[in-house]
Structure 1
Amino acid sequence: MSGMENGVNTVTLRVNRFAPRAERARDRERGGSPFARKSSPFGDSGTSARRRPRGKQWLQDYTLNVRPEDTVLDCLLKIKRTIDPTLAFRYSCGHGMCGSDAVSINGTPTLLCTASVKDWAKPSNPTLVDDEGFRHTGDVSDIQENAVGAGDLGVIELAPLPGFPVQRDLIADIDQMLNQIRKLKPYLQARGELATTADGKINAFEYLQNPQQLAKYELLSNCIACGTCEGSCPVYAGGEAFIGPAALIAASRFINDSRDGQANARMDAIDSADGIAACQSVRACTRECPRGIDVGEEIWQLIAQVKER
Structure 2
Amino acid sequence: MTTSTNVTTVTLKVNRFAPRPERERDRTRSGSPFARRSSPFGGSAGSAAASRRRPHGKQWVQEYTIPARPEDTVLDCLMTIKRTVDPTLAFRYSCGHGMCGSDAVSINGTPNLLCTATLRDWAKRPSSPAAGMTDDEGFRHTGEPACEPDDADDADDACAGDGSLGVIELGPLPGFPVQRDLIADIDPMLDQIRRLRPYLEASGTLATTEDGKVDVFEYLQRPDQLARYEQLSNCIACGVCEGSCPVFAGGDAFIGPAALIWASRFINDSRDTQSMARMDAIDTADGVAACQSVRACTRQCPRGIDVGEEMWQIVAKVRER
Give TM-score scaled by structure 1 length. Answer: 0.89
Matched, 1:74 2:108: no
Q: Which runs of 5+ in 2 are unaligned?
A: 149-156
1:197 corresponds to which residue?
Answer: 209
Matched pairs, number: 300
Give CA deviations for 1:178-200 in whole Å, capped at 9, x if unaligned. 01100011111111222123443
Find the aligned partners of 1:126 and 1:147 in 2 and give their Cα distance: 15
Give CA deviations for 1:1-57 in whole Å, capped at 9, x if unaligned. xxxxx861111000000000011234332549x999533316743333221110000
2:154 corresponds to which residue?
Answer: none
Q: Secondary structure at the match of 2:243?
A: helix
Contact kept in structure 1, 2:298 and 2:305, CA below 8 Å: yes
Find the aligned partners of 1:295 and 1:84 in 2 and give their Cα distance: 37
Matched, 1:141 2:153: no
Find the aligned partners of 2:203 and 2:221 in 1 and give their Cα distance: 15
Find the aligned partners of 2:206 and 2:313 in 1 and give their Cα distance: 31
2:311 to 282, 299, 305: 299
Tell me: CA distance 1:201–1:239, structure 2 relative to 1, closer, same or farther (3 Å): closer
Bigger mean CA offset, 133-142 vs 231-240 = 133-142
Find the aligned partners of 1:201 and 1:146 in 2 and give their Cα distance: 67
Matched, 1:95 2:101: no
RMSD: 2.8
1:3 corresponds to which residue?
Answer: none
Identity of aligned pairs, percent?
71
1:233 corresponds to which residue?
Answer: 245
Contact kept in structure 1, 2:39 and 2:45, CA below 8 Å: no
Tell me: CA distance 1:192–1:147, structure 2 relative to 1, closer, same or farther (3 Å): closer
Contact kept in structure 2, 1:236 and 1:243, CA below 8 Å: yes
Pairing of 1:261-276 with structure 2 (within 5 A): 261-276=273-288
2:123 corresponds to which residue?
Answer: 121
Give CA deviations for 1:150-194 in whole Å, capped at 9, x if unaligned. 411111000000000000000000011001100011111111222
Give CA deviations for 1:262-303 in whole Å, capped at 9, x if unaligned. 111111111111111111111100011110001111011111
The CA deviation at 1:239 is 5.6
The CA deviation at 1:116 is 0.4
Find the aligned partners of 1:224 and 1:238 in 2 and give their Cα distance: 18
Q: Which runs of 5+ in 1 are unaligned?
A: 1-5
2:185 corresponds to which residue?
Answer: 173
